Amino acid sequence: MVGGGEGAYIGNIHRLASRLDGHWQLVAGAFDVDPDRGRAFAIGQGLDPARSYGTCQELIAGESGRADRVDAVAICTPNFTHYPIAKALIEAGFDVICEKPLTATLADAVALERLARESGRFVGVTYTYCGYPMVHEARVRIARGEIGAVRTVQVEYPLEWMAAPIERAGNAQAAWRTDPKKNGRGGSIGDIGTHAYHLAGFVTGLKLDSLTADLATFVNGRALDDNAHVMLRYQGGARGLLWSSQVAIGNSNGVRLRVFGETGSLQWFQEQPNELIFTPLDGRVQTLKRGADEMSVDAKARTRTPPGHPEGYLEAFANLYAGFAEAIRARRENRVPGPIGQNLPLAHDGLKGVAFVEAVVDSAEAADQPWITPVAV
Ligand code: NAD
C-alpha cells in the first residue's frame, strides 16, 4: 500500500476489506507523506521492518529485487499523487489498485489509461458502490430488460461534512480536497460526483452523449465547488440528473440511485444496501432482498451472509478486492475470470470519471453553460 497512514481516511478501509476473504495479505507499504511516520506506521501494522518503506520509490526499489515481491500495490493517497505513483509502479511491473478519481488532471488520466493498456498491467479503480451485490442485481435486471428501455436516471451523492469551512480548521482531508492543485478542478463533483456518475453508467449500461452543469461554492473562500447539479443526455435518448454535495446537512454518504424505464423502475439506496426496490408498470412495489434464491449469479457471487444478516460498505469494498484478485489470477492462469472477477472498475472507467469532471467544470465555467461531450464516455 502507498498512503493510508496514521489518521488517513480510506487506507484502513482498504486494509480491512482486502483481508476479508483471505485473497490478499498486506506485506509492504509506504504509508505516509512523511517517511519516518510511514515506516513507524508500517512497523505498527506488524509489517517486516525490511518492507516498511519511507517512500514509494523505496518500495519499488526494495520490492523489485525480491523473489516474493508484492503482487499489487494499492494507492490511497491524495488525487494529485495518483498519476506519478501509479506510473512509477506500472513501469516497474507492478499491478495497481488505485483510488478514485484516477488522477487530478485529464492529461494524466489519458496518459495513465494508455500506460495501463500498453503495459498490460492490471489497474483497478475503487469505485466502491459497484461492489454491492444489489447494485449488480440492478445491473443484471436492467440488462435483461426487466424495466424496459431506460428513460431517466436520478443519481445523488449528498454529504454534509464540508458545510462549514473545516479546511481552515485543521481538517487534513478537507484541506487537500479544496486545493485545486492537489484535488483537481472538480470539488464535490470530482470527489463524490465521480462515484455517482460511475454508478449510474454501471447499472444502466448507458453511455453519455453530453452534459450541462451548474456548480456552486456555498462556503465563502472555498476554491472549488461544494455542490453540483448536472443534467445528462445519454446516447439513445435517456436522460439523467446527478447531484453531488458536500454541504447537504443531514446526509452522510446518502448515495441514491433511481432508474425509470418504459415498463418499470429500480431504486437502490446505500443506507439500505441489502435491498433493491423494483416496481413493474401496473404492478406492486417489490423489495428484493440480498441473499434470496431468486438473485442473479452476479449478486450471489458477491454475497456472504444469508438474507436478513446485514452486509454493507466493508463487504462491498471487499468484493472489489476479491474481484481484483480473481482478475489477476485469471490473467496469470490464462482463463476467463469467475463472476466476481468480471465487470470490475478499471483504468478506462477511471479515465471516464476524470473526463466527466473536466466536462462538468468546462460547462459550468462557460458563460452559457453549454452541453459538452466528455472526451471518454
Ligand atoms: P487522507 O488525506 O486521509 O490520507 C492520505 C494519506 O496518504 C496520508 O496518510 C498521507 O500521509 C499519505 N500520503 C500523501 N502523499 C503520499 C506520498 N507521496 N507517499 C505516501 N503516502 C502519501 O486522504 P483520504 O481521504 O484517505 O483520500 C485518499 C484517496 O482516497 C483520495 O484519492 C480520495 O479521493 C480517495 N477516497 C476514496 C473513497 C472511496 O469511497 N473509494 C473514500 C475516501 C477517499
pLDDT in tens, 210-263: 999 999 999 999 999 999 999 999 999 999 999 999 999 999 999 999 999 999
Sequence-ordered list of residues with C-beta below 8 angstroms from that of 99, at least 6 positions apart, any chain? 10, 74, 75, 76, 77, 79, 82, 125, 126
The answer to whether the CB of 373 falls within 8 A of the CB of 210 is yes
Q: What is the mean pLDDT of the chain?
A: 98
Q: Look at the domain 129-365 and name its fold.
A: Dihydrodipicolinate Reductase; domain 2 (3.30.360)
Tell me the pLDDT tens digit for each residue of 2-56: 999 999 999 999 999 999 999 999 999 999 999 999 999 999 999 999 999 999 9
Half-sphere exposure (CA, 13 Å, Cβ side) for 254?
Answer: 14
Distance, CA 174 to ligand 1 centroid (Å)? 11
State the pLDDT at residue 319. Answer: 98
User: Which of 6, 41, 57, 77 most suits a substitution to test ligand 1, by most atoms within 8 Å of the C-beta?
Assistant: 77
C-alpha cell at 70: 508484492
294 near 141, Cβ under 8 Å?
no
Q: Which residue has the cell 487506507?
A: 11
pLDDT for res 228: 98
C-alpha 31 to ligand 1 mean position (Å)? 10
Q: pLDDT class for 202, splitting at 50, 70, 90?
A: very high
pLDDT of residue 375: 94
Kindly give, in sequence order, each residue whose CB lies less than 8 Å from that of residue 333, ignoring residues fewer than 6 positions away: none
The best mutation among 6, 33, 41 to test binding of ligand 1, ranked by most ligand atoms within 8 Å of the C-beta, falls on 33
| ipTM surpasses cut 0.95 | yes
Q: Tell me which residue has its CA closest to atom 5 in ligand 1.
A: 77
Look up residue 270 and give its amino acid: Q
Residues with CB under 6 A from ligand 1: 2-5, 8-11, 30, 32-33, 56, 76-79, 81, 99-100, 126, 128, 172-173, 176, 191
Torsion-angle region of 369 (φ positive above 0: left; ψ -120 to 50: alpha; else: beta):
left
What is the distance in A from the centroid of ligand 1 to the CA of 79?
7
pLDDT of residue 340: 98
Asked if 324 and 72 count as a contact pair (C-beta separation under 8 A), the reply is yes
Q: Whole-prediction pTM value?
A: 0.98
Q: Which residue has the cell 478519481?
A: 101
- With contact defined as beta carbons under 8 Å apart, do 48 and 27 qualify? yes
Predicted confidence at residue 280, as pLDDT, reads 98
